[in-house]
Amino acid sequence: MSRPLLILIAGPYASGTDGDPDRMAANLRRLEAAAWPIFRAGHVPMIGEWVALPVLASAGASGPNDPLATDVLYPTAERLLHHCDAVLRLPGASRGADRDVEIARERGIPVYSSLEEIPAA
């Protein structure tokens, strides 16, 4: 049995939404759907938006479409990846998620493409 991993769930959030808040919320729900299976496997799920959205709100931004979002969303995921042990890359076009995978590979941490690939802790 391995130790619990902190696993970043990466996939489309704003990509392909044209800034539509409802579509972004649907994408976030899709990312969050992977959280329980990761937790059930003995790990800690993490999604960058769980950190970035409150940071944006505390900075006075109006939401993920605020100009400040570009200074917060991607950098948050990048900073989180210094603490994460693995990445789960969900399907769908996303520059941010592709960058998360690139950073993970540079760091030499596992990148999973399905929940089934994640070993139990």
What is the rounded radius of gyration, in angstroms, for the C-alpha atoms of the chain?
A: 14
In terms of C-beta distances under 8 Å and separation of at least 24 residues, what long-range contacts does 63-70 make, across chains too? 63/21, 64/13, 64/14, 64/21, 64/24, 65/19, 65/21
Q: Between the CA of residue 14 and those of 38, 51, 57, 121, what are the distances in Å?
A: 23, 15, 17, 31
Look up the pTM and report it: 0.94
Residue 1 lies in a domain: no
Q: How many domains does the chain have?
A: 1
Cα separation of 93 and 4, whole Å? Answer: 29
**Residue 83: inside a domain, yes or no?**
yes
64 in Cβ contact with 73 (< 8 Å): yes
Range 34-43 average pLDDT: 98
**CATH number for 92:** 3.40.50.10400
State the DSSP H helix or E strand holding residue 107, giving kind and residue range, or none if neither. Answer: helix 95-107
Q: What is the mean pLDDT of the chain?
A: 95
Residues of the domain holding 101: 7-117
In this structure, is residue 2 part of a structural domain?
Answer: no
Residue 84: closest CA among 55, 114, 51, 57: 51
In the prediction, which pLDDT does 52 show? 96
pLDDT tens readout for residues 53-109: 999 999 999 989 999 999 999 999 999 999 999 999 999 999 999 999 999 999 999
pLDDT of residue 94: 95
Asked if pLDDT for residue 1 goes beyond 80, the answer is: no
Domain for residue 73, yes or no?
Answer: yes
Output the pLDDT for position 2: 81
CA–CA dist 110, 2 (Å, integer): 14
